[in-house]
Amino acid sequence: MKLVLFDLDNTLLAGDSDFEWAQFLISKGVLDREVHEARNLEFYEQYKAGTLDIHAFLDFQLAPLSRHARYELDAWRAEFVAARIRPIIGAPARALVQRHLDDDALVAIVTATNSFVTGPIAREFGIPHLIATVPEWTGGKFTGKARGTPAFKDGKIERVEAWLESLGWWWGSFEDSWFYSDSHNDLPLMRKVANPVAVDPDDTLRKHAREMGWPVISLR
């Protein structure tokens, strides 16, 4: 049996769902453009540079969830997926996912982006498992904080291992394991699998992939 893991943003998507969600809320007037747009861009540049403080970012990114009723959030999310996400899902990404699903692999998305935003995106791909940063929910509403370990850098390994254990599996259960990613932030998990694949990689990951002899592909 194969284990196949996909990063989401700038890997399966030709864009970043976290960044796009904030920009979408700004465009709807839910977030103040002057206050939030520069901060959103700043965090995105930090992510690309590998200097992101994930906890500071999550405080910023999850706060809007705590300020609005769930029915409003659900309506905005549906509009967001239709307007901002489907246009950045390419046919090659859908075909790659489907090939692994048809191969009866255990397939999951592993992403630092929170599960409220990414749940419907996983369903759009037909991927049955999502390992994402979890927004805390209590008393019938989001708190604006994350619950547990964020699925970021080494946290992705921790979250994948816990997920596998919950299914009665472990790394050694699989004849083959794969992880597709665009980002040098994912090097810890890429080093963990038998078959790391760099997808439209950033410069740091591209250089590392070439040095290690890893495949480099494009889904654009």
Provide the annotated active-site residues: 7, 9
- Closest by CA position to 55, among listed 144, 117, 184: 144
For residues 144 and 65, give the distance between their C-alpha atoms in angstroms, rounded to a whole number: 6
- CB-CB contact of 124 with 136 (8 Å): no
Helix extents (H) in the chain:
17-27, 33-49, 54-62, 70-80, 91-102, 115-125, 154-166, 187-192, 203-212
Residue 118 tokens, joined: 């990414």
